[in-house]
Chain A
Amino acid sequence: MDASQPAEFDLIRAVAGGDQQAFLAIYDRHAPRVYGLTLHILGDPMLAEEVTQDTFLKLWSRARSYVPERGSFDVWLLTIARRTALDRLRLEGRRPLLSDGQDPEEAWRSLPDKSRDPEEIRWESMHFALRALPEQQQQVLELAYYQGLSQSEIADELGWPLGTVKTRMRAAMQALRREWNTDGVD
């Protein structure tokens, strides 16, 4: 982050106090991640735009409930975005295509200040770790995490035995756990 920019927590506190400029500063910082996630889940730019707005409006009304000790702001905001998008997916009773048609590498390159933000590099590593998984493991995680399906629903969706789904889910998560937790987090 640019040293001249206000610290994230100062902005969140200002948002909790009703400061619209602080709110827009947070939007400018986080909108690409929120929109990227909601677009991936919903597969429809119009719906993703609506859910992006809903997510930020929830931030506006609930900024006071963010507790830094319980986790990073990005994770908190993106968790709200994911839940809002999955609720919308259920409401619409539809399931989008698994691919959003974006070129991931291109999108990563378009992020500003990436070279100065180690967190960005770490997130990027998760993206590539996910893509390095065997395709069937990726499918299981995709349907569970980004489409909100349970293991039984995934088994029905893919026509696989439930035991196979469980095995692939576990293998995928174990591989990501090894990859993600190697740099001192775990």
Chain B
Amino acid sequence: MTDEHALANQELAAYAVDALDPAEVSGLEAHLRTCKICQADLGAYRRVSSGLLSAVPPVYPRPAVRQLLQRRLTHQTQPARSAWRWSPWQLASAGALALIIVLGIVSSLQLRSLLESQAELRSRSDSQQIAVAMLAYPSTQSIGFAQNGISGSLLVDKQRGLIAVFAWHLPVPPAGKTYQMWLIDPQGHRTSGGLLAYETGYPFVTAVITSPSPLSNFNGLGVTVEPLGGSPAPTGPRIFGVDF
């Protein structure tokens, strides 16, 4: 047994559980290509490694996870099964059809964009009016927060099931992402409270959440980064959270 073999053989256990330091990996892999003994030993350690996947006790997830997964499934596509072979006339027809569809989509997108801008402005104005009105409610509770360079306050009215969120210095969300608010119950379950729309040029953002069930069911609010349009459940990093 050579020194090289002895050294490599000692590293197999760590390699099998992905714990070998990167600098040691290439040397071991070169040895493994030619050493049948180490290949066999690695096979045995790999079986242990596979066994470790199941050494953790199973835990049943909440039924809601299955429901959320089903909902996400409807937005998920599977890769195409095989490539089609099209004849020239099929290609020409498809091209013409695609052009008509593209032109239609462009027009409808322009119209939709205008309508969305209008709706967003109206929504922003409504949110701010509700938030200001909430200040006058005697039952409104105001909670300040400052986390990760973001500061602001929540106005919580449990009687009416309303929360107004004011957040200053919110960073620009990454491209293709948005902020989403989550109501959190004492068991840690998250219910979407809608999007927290960021707009360039405004020093702070405001949003009003109308709780889908009595607000007393919840005791916290969290904000995460999500894909545009939001997610049925949080998927991105948390930006800030406030207990109320």
Contacts and interface: CB of A to CB of B under 8 A. Distances in A.
B21 A61 contact: no
Given A52-B61, A127-B57, 14 more contacts: A24-B70, A31-B61, A32-B59, A36-B56, A48-B61, A53-B72, A56-B69, A71-B50, A144-B18, A144-B19, A145-B19, A166-B14, A170-B14, A177-B47
A36 B59 contact: yes
Main secondary structure of the interface of A (DSSP, over half): helix
Most A Cβ at <10 Å: residue of B18, B55, B66, B70: B55
A49 interface: yes
A79 B65 CA distance: 20
A89 interface: no
Contacts of A49: 61-62, 65, 68, 233
A53 B233 contact: yes
B234 A186 contact: no
Interface string A90-110: 011000000010101001101
A56 B78 CA distance: 13
Nearest to B231: A50
Contacts of A176: 48, 51-52
Interface residues of B, number: 45
Contacts of B73: 20, 23, 57, 60
A151 B66 contact: no
B53 A79 contact: yes
A110 B47 contact: no
Most A Cβ at <10 Å: residue of B17, B45, B66, B233: B17
Contact of B57 (A28, A81, A108, A170): A108
A127 to B, nearest CB: 4
Contacts of A129: 55
A78 B50 CA distance: 9
Interface in A131-158: 141, 144-146, 148-152, 154
Contact of B44 (A54, A56, A149, A177): A177
Query: For the side of the interface on A, what is the size category?
Result: 35 or more
Interface of B: 10, 13-14, 16-22, 44-45, 47-62, 65-66, 68-70, 72-73, 76-79, 188, 190, 233-235, 237
A123 B10 contact: no
A126 B47 CA distance: 11
B76 A60 contact: yes
A73 B68 CA distance: 23
Interface string A101-122: 0101001101100000000001
Most A Cβ at <10 Å: residue of B50, B58, B61: B58
B2 to A, nearest CB: 19
B57 A169 contact: no
A107 to B, nearest CB: 4
A151 B234 contact: no
A28 B58 CA distance: 12
